[in-house]
Amino acid sequence: MKCPCNSSKSYIDCCKKAHQNIHTVNTAEELMRSRYTAFVLADIEYLQKSHHTATRPSKREKKEILNWTKSVEWVRLEIINTTKNTVEFKAYFMECGKLEVIHENSFFCKENTHWVYKNAQ
């Protein structure tokens, strides 16, 4: 399977590595891509693990995120700009038959020796 994060690699050679061991992630962009793919695959445990503890969704929010991501059809990820700690991206998805987009500049940092998503800038 081609990796959902829109890289030219297969899932096995791309985001699966991060999903199996978050410590293999080397950059903010890699973490961002692996989180997008986790949304596509509804891997909520990875989404929680890759979220900074200060901003991590609660148990109730976690359930809502899981239900939401299962209810939409992810189309593609577009990386617009990256710095050491930020990734600006557009994530396209179909919801209720309409194409929607999340356009965000996300901030990433390290926590417990691995990269995590902290918040939108």
Positions touching Zn ion (CB under 5 A) are 3, 5, 7, 14-15, 33
Nearer to Zn ion, 23 or 63 (CB): 23
CA distance 31 to 15: 9
State both tokens at 80. Answer: 């617009």
Least distance to Zn ion, CB of residue 49, Å = 17
Least distance to Zn ion, CB of residue 5, Å = 3
End-to-end, the C-alpha distance of the chain in Å comes to 32
Nearer to Zn ion, 9 or 55 (CB): 9
Nearer to Zn ion, 53 or 80 (CB): 80
Least distance to Zn ion, CB of residue 59, Å = 28
Query: Helices marked H in the chain — which ranges?
Result: 15-20, 28-41, 44-49, 59-71
CA dihedral 31, 35, 41, 47 (to 10 degrees): 110
